[in-house]
Amino acid sequence: MNVLFIKPPIGGIIGLEQLTFVEPLGPECVAGSLEPLGHKCMILDLRIGGETLAKGWAFEPQVVGIQCNFTTERFRTLKIARTVKQHRPDVFVLIGGHDAAREPEFFQDEAVDAVAIGDGESIAPLLVEALDRGRDVRKVPGLMLNTPHGPLFTGHAPARVDLDALPFPSRHLIQHYAPHYYINFRKPLALLETARGCPYRCNFCSVWKFHEKSFREKSPERVVAELKQISAPNVFITDDIFWLNVERGKEMARQIKAAGIKKWFTVQTRTDIICRHPEVVEMWKECGQLQIFLGVEKIDDEGLQSINKHNKADNNVRAIELLKEMKVGFTTNFIVDPDWDYEDFAKLRQWLYRYGVYNSGFSILTPLPGTDLYDEVKDMLTTDDWEMFDLAHTVLPTKLPLEEFYAEYAKLYRTVMDVRVRHTGRLKPLLRLIAALVTRKVTIGALRKGMNMSKVFSNPKTFLRKHWENGANKQKSAEAVAVN
C-alpha cells in the first residue's frame, strides 16, 4: 500500500520553530517498519515553504498518517485530516504522535478513522497489513477507532519491544528536506533517539505515562550504527534524560570515538547526573562538540518538590559550575508559575545574575493533557484554545494582573540578554556569528530569526496579544447571543 505521512504546517502564536526546527523522526521510524513489508512510504513536511498537499495526492496514498506530537498542533492536525477526507474520502486517516496518544478522544471527528496509542512501529504494520488484506481493523490492537456509534478501543497496543529490534528510521524519505532542519544557528541537523521513556514522575510531564513507566535503551552498537547513517554534522539526541545509565553512556562515547565519528551533539540531561558523573561529560567532549540542555526548572528545593522533580537545588548550581569548568556549553530552562508575584520573579532574576546563566529559556507552567498536573487543575483552565498551550502563555489564572505577569515574564528574557553582555561582552558573540556566517554554518536568514526572537520574547505584548484576541472573540460571541 502507499502510505503518506504528513507533518502539519507551522502555526501557533509565537513560532518557536525560529530557534529549533527538527525533522519528523516519528514518521521516519514508522516508515522504517513498513517499507521492509513492501509498502511504499512518503513523508510530506508542510512546515517547509512550497510544500502542499497536491504533492501528496500525486503519490496516490491509500493510508495517510498525520503526526500530532504537541498539543498546539491539534487544530492544524484536524484541519489536515478534514482536507484529506474532502479530497480523498476513501483514504484511511490515522492520527499518531505523543499528544494524540495522550488524549485520543479529542480526535473524535468524522475525518479521522483511527488514532494510534502506543509505539507506532508496532501498531502501523498490523493496521496497514489488515487494510491491505481486507481484514477487520477492529482486531488490530492499539487503536481508537471512530465509528458511527462512538469511539472503539481495540485493546492495549502490542508489548513494547527491545529498541534494538526496531528497523532503522527511513531517513532517505526526508533527504530532500535535510538542509532545512537546524538548532539555534547550526544546520543541517539530524535527530537521534537512543532511549525511550523516563523513570521519573514530574507532574508537568507525560513522557513517563505515554511509555507506561517503562525505560528502554538502544545498545551502544546500535547507536553507532545509526550515527554512521547520519551525514548531518549536528545531532540532537532526543532522549528525555541522557546518560541515565552512566556506564552505557561511557561505552557509547568509547565506541563513537573508536568509529571516528565527530559531531556537534546536543543532549538533555539532569543536573544530578552531571554532579555524580562529570567524567561522562568529559568523555563525550571527545566525540566532537557538546551542548547540554538542563531542565533546572526551579531555583530552590521547595520549588523542585512542587513539581515532583526529585532533585536538589544545590545540584543545579554545582552542575553549572562543573560545565563552566569543563568549558561545555549549556542551556538552562526554568518553569514560571502563574501564581508568582513580583518577589518570585525578582528571585529568579537575581539567581541568573549571580550564576551568570545567560543561555536560558522560561516555560510557563502549563497543564498539558495526559499529565498529573492537568488532572489536578483542568477545572481552572482559562481557555480551550490549544494553540495557547505552547509553554509561553498562561492558561491558568495568574496572581498578578495579566499585564503585570507578562511584563515580569518578558523582563526575564531582557535579563538574560543583559547577563550575556556582562559575562561575554558584545564583541565575542558577534565574532562567533561572523565566523559562523563565513563558514556557512549559519545563514543570514537564521541569524535574523534568532535576533528577532530575542525582541519578540522581550516584549509583553507578544504574549498578551492572544489573550486580547480571545477576549474580543468571546465578546463578539456574547453580543451575538444577546442579539439572537
Percent of the chain whose pLDDT exceeds 90? 78
DSSP H helical ranges for 260-336: 271-276, 278-285, 301-306, 313-325
Q: Rounded CA gap, 282 and 292, in Å?
A: 12
Using CA atoms, how far residue 436 sits from 187, 216, 444, 455, 470, in Å, is: 11, 37, 10, 21, 41
pTM of the model: 0.91
Please answer whether residues 71 and 393 qualify as being in contact, where contact means their C-beta atoms are separated by less than 8 angstroms: no
Burial class from Cβ neighbours inside 10 Å (0-12, 13-18, 19+) for residue 377 reads middle
User: Is the pLDDT confidence value at 478 over 50?
Assistant: no
Q: What is the pLDDT of residues 27-68, one digit of tens each?
A: 999 999 999 999 999 999 999 988 999 999 999 999 999 999
Tens of pLDDT along 275-286? 999 999 999 999
Which pLDDT score, from 0 to 100, does residue 480 have?
43
Spatial distance between the Cα atoms of 168 and 26, rounded to a whole number of angstroms? 12
- Host H or E run for residue 196: strand 195-197
| Cβ-count burial 100-114 (b if 16+ within 10 Å, e if not) | bbbbbebbeeebbbb
Confidence (pLDDT) at 14: 64
Domains of the chain and any CATH numbers: 2-153 (3.40.50.280), 181-336 (3.20.20.70)
308-356 pLDDT, tens per residue? Answer: 999 999 999 999 999 999 999 999 999 999 999 999 999 999 999 999 9
pLDDT cut 70: percent of the chain above it:
89
φ/ψ (deg, to 5) at 436: -65, -35
